[in-house]
Amino acid sequence: MINNYIFNEYEKRFEPKETTCAYCEESQIKNMKDTHFVALYVTDDRTNLIVYRSVKYSTLLIGIPRCASCREIHDKSVVKSRLITWMIVPVLMGLLFYYISVLGVFLFIAGFFAIVTGGFYGSHKLTQFFVAKENIYNLQDGTDNDRVIQNLILDGWSLNQPSA
């Protein structure tokens, strides 16, 4: 088993015994609902035939301790960044449709894909910006800095789900 973790049979996950928040490194967790759970994967069997591909893998849910304040910051940052993105993207799309006769079809299609891609990327970057403004780790940095997860990755586990 993993040190400093308890396996919850009902939820099928490892819950941390550690009570110090991994994101602000100050507060104590009071409720397991605030904990951020990360899925880790390991490939058990891989089959590659000419016409058939198959991957069998195991999944492990492991908790990273997070206080209620950090959870609230993470959740509000996502909502705020999505709101801003959903306000900017329609305005840019409207401008793109307004100037379609000037741009031509090719630039219109390129602009459309640029705006959609920029919306997803921009929303992600805005979330990171809002979280960093609060002086705590974002979800990815908190996952990357966790020692247990680092050790599991060194042992062959991955944060990415295997595909055939």
Q: Give the model's pLDDT for residue 3.
A: 82
Q: Give the model's pLDDT for residue 131.
A: 94
Instruction: Provide Rg for the chain, Cα atoms.
Output: 21
Q: Tokens standing for 70?
A: 């950090």
Q: Give the model's pLDDT for residue 2.
A: 80
Write down the mean pLDDT value for the chain. 91
| CA-based torsion, 136, 139, 144, 145: positive or negative | positive
Residues 30 and 118: their CA atoms lie apart, in Å, by: 38
Residue showing tokens 């090719």: 106
- 116-155 residue pLDDT tens: 999 999 999 999 999 999 999 999 999 998 888 999 999 9
Considering the chain, what percentage of its residues have pLDDT values greater than 90?
Answer: 68
With 0-12 CB in 10 A as exposed, 13-18 as middle and 19+ as buried, what is 32?
A: middle
Q: What are phi and psi of 144, to 5 degrees?
A: -65, -30
Residue showing tokens 């944060």: 159
**Residues of the chain scoring pLDDT < 70:** 1
- Comparing CA positions, the residue from 7, 24, 60 lying closest to residue 142 is 24
Residues 56 and 52: their CA atoms lie apart, in Å, by: 13
